[in-house]
Amino acid sequence: MNLTKCIFLKELDESPNLRAAATLRSLSRIRTELERIPETAALGDPVELRLQDALVISFSCCRDCGGEVSTAIATAQSLVLLLGKPQ
């Protein structure tokens, strides 16, 4: 994973206010993308998400459920591998 992304995830872990703000911003962007999809779309139709937003949401979910930082970072790394190269 890109070193910058790891540093950002550690900053998110150390600052609950920053994590809350980043999560809210990411959820807002995801909601906007979902609202652009027609109601007639199939469940399997792709949705374009920013990799950063997916990382923030994944990391926040892991941490908020009591996961360790290393687990949250590993989950984010797996997400990067699934979704593509970090930008």
- Condensed to tens digits (0 to 9), the pLDDT of residues 57-73 reads 888 877 777 767 677 67
Q: Please give the Cα distance from 78 to 7 (Å, whole number).
A: 17
Positions in the chain whose pLDDT score sits under 70: 1-6, 67, 69, 72, 76-77, 79-87
- The pTM for the full model equals 0.68
Place of tokens 């790891």: 6
- Contact between 80 and 56 under an 8 Å Cβ cutoff? The reply is no
